Chains A and B, each alone.
Chain A
Amino acid sequence: MISDPWSYWTHMSKRSLGRPVYVVAGGVSKFAKSRKDKTFQAIVQEAVSSLYSDLGISFAEGREVFDSTVPSYFSDHFLRQLKGGAMVHDALGFCPKPSPGRLEAGGATGGHCFQKAVKEVASGDVDLCLAVGWETMSTVGTAKGNEFIALASDTFFDFPVGGYYNGYYAMMAVRHMVELGSSLSSFSKIAVKNHRNACFNPYAQEHYNLTLEGVLAEQNDLSMRIALPLTRSHICTMSDGAAAVAIASEEGLRILEQRGVKLSSVARVKGIGNGTDAMRMADRPCEQLPPLFPWEGPPAYENRGLWYPGVHSFRGARVACIGAYAMAGIDNPNLDLDVVELHDAYTSSELQTYEDMGLCRYGEGAAYIDHGFPFLKAVDYGFEVPSAGEGPVVNPSGGLLACGHPVGATGLMQAVFVLWQLQHSIGTHFGSEMLQVPDANVGAIHSHAGTGTYIAVSILEREEV
C-alpha cells in the first residue's frame, strides 16, 4: 500500500506534536494474578498515589494541579462495569474537571492511552494530563478469560472454529520459523531474558529464574504445552493491576515547579506513531516488500521471495515505527535507542517485533537474539550474550512475559519503566541497579494489540530540567 517509502517517510517527518510534551512521572500498582484486596478504582488510586509521591505532592494537590485524565481499560467483559473510565476519573477526585473519555485499543490500550494524553497536551487543550490504565482479569477463570480476549478477534470466522490468541500467535510463530528462520531456542532465550530480568523488578508478577534448557524441556511436558510451539514460559499471564503516567507541557512543568515539585530530569516525547492491520490475519496481503525505512535500500529484500506481511510480520509495527522515528529524527534505531520496552505477550512476537522495529532486518531476528544484542550486560542468563550492550536493551523490566499483562495498564507500565530508565532512577524504584541501562538517554515504548491490528510506538528522550 505504501509504494514509495521515501516520500512516505518525508510525509511522516513533517508531522509534529505542535508544542513540546514531557513525561514527568509515573506510577505502577502491584501486579498480581488476583487483586482481591481492592476495587479497580482503588488499584488505580494505588498507581496514581505512587506517581504523586514521586512528584512529592498529595492526593489533594494532584486533583487540583492536573487538568484532566485519560482513562483506559480493554474489556467491559472483565470489568462487568460500563463507564469504568468515568468511575476512575471520579475516584481520583477529578470531577467536574474534563476527561475525553475512555480509550480502548485491545492489547495496545495502554500505549494508545499514552499517545492520547500526549495529544491532549500537545494540542494545547490541557497542560497537565494523567493517563491512567488498568485491568482486573481475575474476575473470571483463565479459560473464560481467554474467551473474553478471543472475542477481540473476528467472531464471524476466526473465533467460532476454536480460534483464540495463543493459537493465533502460535500460527504466526510457526510461519515466522518457516519464512524467516526463527527457532525454538531463539524464542526460548527471550523467555529466559525477560524472566531473569524480572527477578530484579519488585513490580513484576513472576520472579522465575528460568534456564534455556528448562524452557526447551517444557515441550516434552504435557502440562506445559499450550499452543504448539508456545509452552507456558513463552506466554504472558493474566493480571490485575494499574499504571499511571503524568504528561505535561512546558507550562505544566512551570505549574509543577510553582507547587514546589523538584524534578531533576524528565522525558521529552520526541515522536509518536501508530499502525494497523487487518483483524483477520488470513486477510493480510503477501506483497513483495515491507514498507522500508529510508536507510534500507530495496536491495535489502530483493529476490528473497518474501511474503509480506503474510502472517509472520507485523506491518502495523513497521508503519508505527516509521511514524515515530520520522517525527523523532531517528535514522538508526540500533544506535539511537538505549532501551526499548516492547509488547512481548509472546516470546515469538518479541522476536518478530525486532525486525518490524528495524533493530535488525527481516530474517535476522534469531541471529539478533543469538548474538545477545537485546540482553543486559549485568544479568547472568546462563548462556553467552557476546553483543549485550551493543544495541538497545529490550524489556529490561521483564516485559509482559514476567511483569504480567493487565491489558489497559500494560502500555502505561512500559512508559513508566522507560521513564525511570531515562531518569536513571531504576535503583531508587526497584531497590537495585541491576536493570538500569547505563546512561540511558533515548527509549522506545511499543504497545501492540490483536495479532498486530493496533500498534503504538512512542519515543522518549531524557531532558535535564
Chain B
Amino acid sequence: MAAKKTQLDIYQTAMPLDPNALDPKSPHTDGWQYAIRYIRSLGEYTPFFIALSSKKFLVSRCENCSYWKRNYVYATPRPGLICMYCGMQCKWMEIEPRGKIHSFTICRYSAEMFKDEVPFALILVEFSGVDTLFMGKLRGVNLEQPTTESPQELEGWIKSFIGRPVKAEFRKLISPKKFDPTDVWFIPDDRVI
C-alpha cells in the first residue's frame, strides 16, 4: 500500500522541463522530527542526587590522596568516584553547603531546552575545605545589568559578585524531585561570618 502511494506522489510532483537547469538557489528542504526519551542511569552519582532530595549536599573525598599528600575533596563527584590523581575510590561526605562565588555570568540566551528560563545567572561555587568547584544557578539577586558609562564601571559591577557568600537552597519537598542538579541552586548568604 505504502509503495503505491509513493508512486502516486511522484506522479503528482511536477518535473521541471529541464532538470539540468534546476535553480540551485531554490532547493527543496526536508523536515524531520526526532523526539526520543532517553532512560539513562545516574549510576554511582545516585547518592548525590538522592541526598539533594533530603536537602543534603554531598561531596566526595579522596582520603589521604597519594598525589596531594592530604585529603582531596571534590565538589562534583568524579566518574566512578575515582580520584583523578591517585585512582583511589572517594568516600561521600556531607558538608554545609555555604560557599563563595568563584565566577559568574548572566545568560540572556540559552540552549533551547532552557529558553523560557532566561535571563538566569550561572555560578561556580567554592566551598571552604573543598578543592574543586560546583556549577549551579544563582537566584535571589537582581539580574538587571546596569547601563554603564565606561567599561571600567561594568567591570566593577561584574567583579562585585566575585567572592560573595552564597548558600544552597533545595527544591521543596512538595514539588516533584527531578533527581538532577537543578534540585539545588544558590542564593546570597547574608549570615554574618
- On whether A157 and B103 interact (CB within 8 A), knowing A226-B108, A282-B134, A283-B132, the answer reads no
Q: In the complex, which residues of chain A have a beta carbon less than 8 angstroms from the beta carbon of B84?
A: 278, 283
Asked if A177 and B155 make an inter-chain contact with CB atoms under 8 angstroms apart, the answer reads yes
Chain B window 111-139, contacts with chain A (Cβ cutoff 8 Å), 1 for yes, 0 for no: 11111010010111000000111111100
- Cα A401 to Cα B109 with chains together (Å): 18
Q: In the complex, which residues of chain A have a beta carbon less than 8 angstroms from the beta carbon of B181?
A: 156-157, 160-161
- Cα A188 to Cα B147 with chains together (Å): 17
Asked if A144 and B105 make an inter-chain contact with CB atoms under 8 angstroms apart, the answer reads no
Q: In the complex, which residues of chain A have a beta carbon less than 8 angstroms from the beta carbon of B159?
A: 177-178
Tell me if B176 counts as interface (CB < 8 A to partner A).
no
Tell me if A131 counts as interface (CB < 8 A to partner B).
no
Chain A window 408-443, contacts with chain B (Cβ cutoff 8 Å), 1 for yes, 0 for no: 000000000000000000000000000000000000
Asked if A174 and B147 make an inter-chain contact with CB atoms under 8 angstroms apart, the answer reads no
Which of A157, A167, A216 sits near B105, CB closer than 8 Å?
A: A167
**Which of A184, A188, A216 neighbours the largest number of chain B CB atoms within 10 Å of its CB?**
A184
Number of residues in A with C-beta < 8 Å to the partner? Answer: 52
Task: With CB as the reference atom, state the residue of chain B lying closest to A215.
Answer: B151
- On whether A183 and B108 interact (CB within 8 A), knowing A162-B117, A163-B122, A282-B124, the answer reads no
Which of A36, A146, A183, A282 sits near B135, CB closer than 8 Å?
A: A282
Asked if B162 and A178 make an inter-chain contact with CB atoms under 8 angstroms apart, the answer reads yes
B163 to chain A, nearest CB (A): 9
**Which of B111, B133, B152 neighbours the largest number of chain A CB atoms within 10 Å of its CB?**
B111
Q: In the complex, which residues of chain B have a beta carbon less than 8 angstroms from the beta carbon of A38?
A: 24
Number of contacts between A and B (CB, 8 Å)?
149
Q: In the complex, which residues of chain A have a beta carbon less than 8 angstroms from the beta carbon of B102?
A: 175, 311
Q: In the complex, which residues of chain A have a beta carbon less than 8 angstroms from the beta carbon of B109?
A: 142-143, 146, 166, 226-227
Interface size class of chain B, counting residues whose CB lies under 8 Å from the partner chain: 35 or more
Task: With CB as the reference atom, state the residue of chain A lying closest to B32.
Answer: A80
B190 to chain A, nearest CB (A): 22
Tell me if B95 counts as interface (CB < 8 A to partner A).
no
- On whether A37 and B25 interact (CB within 8 A), knowing A143-B112, A229-B158, A282-B133, the answer reads yes
Restricting to A132-175, which residues have a CB under 8 Å from any CB of B? 141-144, 146-147, 150, 156-164, 166-167, 170-172, 174-175
- Cα A55 to Cα B147 with chains together (Å): 54
B177 to chain A, nearest CB (A): 13
Asked if A227 and B107 make an inter-chain contact with CB atoms under 8 angstroms apart, the answer reads yes
A80 to chain B, nearest CB (A): 6
Chain B window 143-175, contacts with chain A (Cβ cutoff 8 Å), 1 for yes, 0 for no: 001011001101100110010000000000000
Asked if A147 and B113 make an inter-chain contact with CB atoms under 8 angstroms apart, the answer reads yes
Asked if B122 and A141 make an inter-chain contact with CB atoms under 8 angstroms apart, the answer reads no
Q: In the complex, which residues of chain A have a beta carbon less than 8 angstroms from the beta carbon of B148?
A: 219-220
Chain A window 1-39, contacts with chain B (Cβ cutoff 8 Å), 1 for yes, 0 for no: 100000000000000000000000000000000001110
Asked if A146 and B106 make an inter-chain contact with CB atoms under 8 angstroms apart, the answer reads no
Tell me if A367 counts as interface (CB < 8 A to partner B).
no
Asked if A227 and B105 make an inter-chain contact with CB atoms under 8 angstroms apart, the answer reads yes
Tell me if A93 counts as interface (CB < 8 A to partner B).
no
B30 to chain A, nearest CB (A): 10
Asked if B145 and A228 make an inter-chain contact with CB atoms under 8 angstroms apart, the answer reads yes
B162 to chain A, nearest CB (A): 5
Asked if A228 and B135 make an inter-chain contact with CB atoms under 8 angstroms apart, the answer reads no
Task: With CB as the reference atom, state the residue of chain B lying closest to A286.
Answer: B131
- On whether A219 and B154 interact (CB within 8 A), knowing A158-B135, A161-B137, A225-B145, the answer reads yes
- Cα A281 to Cα B123 with chains together (Å): 12
Asked if A170 and B105 make an inter-chain contact with CB atoms under 8 angstroms apart, the answer reads yes
Asked if B154 and A184 make an inter-chain contact with CB atoms under 8 angstroms apart, the answer reads yes
Asked if A146 and B133 make an inter-chain contact with CB atoms under 8 angstroms apart, the answer reads no
Q: Can you add 16 more A-B contacts, CB < 8 Å, to A36-B29, A143-B112, A157-B135?
A: A37-B24, A80-B32, A146-B111, A159-B111, A162-B111, A162-B120, A171-B105, A175-B103, A177-B159, A183-B152, A281-B133, A283-B76, A283-B132, A284-B132, A286-B131, A311-B102
20 A-B pairs whose Cβ atoms sit less than 8 Å apart in the complex: A141-B112, A143-B112, A144-B111, A147-B111, A157-B135, A161-B136, A163-B135, A164-B110, A166-B109, A170-B107, A171-B105, A178-B162, A183-B151, A183-B155, A184-B154, A219-B151, A229-B154, A278-B84, A283-B133, A311-B102
- Chain A residues in the interface with B (C-beta under 8 A): 1, 36-38, 80, 141-144, 146-147, 150, 156-164, 166-167, 170-172, 174-175, 177-178, 183-185, 188, 216, 219-220, 222, 225-229, 278, 280-286, 311
- Chain B residues in the interface with A (C-beta under 8 A): 24-25, 27, 29, 32, 34, 42, 45, 74-76, 78, 84-85, 102-115, 117, 120, 122-124, 131-137, 145, 147-148, 151-152, 154-155, 158-159, 162, 180-182, 185
